[in-house]
Structure 1
């Protein structure tokens, strides 16, 4: 990206994509659904692809998404580049004019690939969520009553936060924008309703985390194409629940989703290229496979396990009896489990940015009132688990791990610790342990207790 131009480098990267999106808007405000060839490209670099590409129909779903993104961009870029911010806002307003001029979905029934085109159809026959998101972002950017009235009239058409967002349902983005609205005219009653729905849904997600050995929020039956994106989108909601409540349970549940993505999973693999000592090497990503460089482009999220075996390679390796979380292969030909997609990377960027930035400042760091040894998490584990403990005062602490015969197999802590909350990352591989039941025990001058954990290789 550019540097030294008084615009954050991250926004320079974002602007590159926004400039392209602006070119997809028609003079009447509508936005074209996609720009692709009829067939998928070969595994060649983009500059070597001379095939004919087509601009497909105007679409109200594409327009709604475009309006929301441009209205948000106008707010974000305003302090750094007011000229570009105004360009984004004008484009958003023009797009809204198209939507109001066409109150029903365009094209009728939603976009469908014409004969001869096999590239991603992303069929969506309901544009109410895209329209709602557009109205929410325009209201937050402009404060205008018309956008507010539209949101109030339509926000509850399909319930509040009761499912996880994805490309086919962006309703949650509209609701979260309104929940965090800074406009004085926003309704506190409506915000409370949204907040309650967020908390209720995230309580369901939390119950899944505590019941799962890897602490992941999806269950068998939900390991579908792009499952890693679904996990991270759920983490996004958990983060918002933490921000609304300061309840650390949501924070911890969210970070366990990131742990899963980065290697605490059934494959002992980081699903992000270039991150970790063992990560995805052969993504279904044309530039990575054709640039002449052995390593893939770093920072890309692989789709993850697909229990429905939606490509021939998965079908040749697994069957309906394979545990869902194992239906993944790091192979360029597995487009259903190892594909790369920009909308999958989006929640990864959000979650990583949150935990890397100021988002954790709400954690309660007050000194605990009592000694506490928490249950390790995840449990069962392979090979890494986290053990947390609280100290009400400074103490010399010993934490040891024992096998079922009472033999000490690991010494994790043997030193003076300050009062406060502490955690240990325990890697069973470092102690050459075999699968089985183990006990971990904390000892101080005034406190001693132990808990059981299960290591499954």
Structure 2
């Protein structure tokens, strides 16, 4: 009963106990190369937007005014929907688990920007928002499980926006040399390409720093996406889509005296079925727990309950594995996952607590 009380209290506070400390920590800097697995033909002559729905790629073409769902094995078109209005350039695509989101603006005037939520079967617009500024120039777009991120080519910033109102919540300066266009979200990081440096960048949205940079195998990279294992991007000038694998080539370890935040990331994907990844970070070593609760505060699962040194971590919440372990099945709905980190001074008590919401769709 006491644990349930503290859980409900934490929901009321939601982000209770955030604080910063100075800590000597070890950081690992990974440097990546891209291995091209294959290329497939793009479904149109000038494809720009790209996203992944869990089974297929979706690609927008600004000449044929269409969005295509294609088979990743050979580029075969599985489904096609028209873009509307037809006088708009649909530059970016994102997938929220059920629907498409598209960023677009008028072809001739390069104005009247919109972000549209689209029914993937009919192509009907379900929701339209004007993103934060009527003068923006939205290109790439990404979904982080809760919010949209938009690559604004005019202001040279990547902006986090509310998907219902379009209000800007945060912004990150675009890396590269004023040529950042495409955008993807994967493993709690942003990815964007710059056509002036022919590079792809990985960005930590918390620190707003470039984590990694690597050379793109073809000039002028456009929109990009991860399918959970491989990285895809559109080379619109040659009407091809590249499938690539990230390879860690070197690890450099260094000690730094830094101010670090405790942080619990939004799970991905969200909504989910049957599994989702939960990531968090701690600047100190201590006993850490992650538990899942229903809306009544009943504990559903314990994902982590152990001592961990300072660093970044992730854990999978997998309903298939839960079933194999004889854990009772849970229904579709809203659930909460909660991170607790013991007081680093005495390794007991409550030093930090944070709770986030996730949605199960069966």
Structure having the higher strand fraction is 2
The reply to whether TM is greater than 0.5 is no
Structure having the higher helix fraction is 1
Give the TM-score of the pair, scaled to structure 1: 0.28
Q: Specify which structure has the bigger relative contact order, considering alpha-carbon pairs within 8 angstroms and separated by 6 or more residues.
A: 2
Give the TM-score of the pair, scaled to structure 2: 0.35
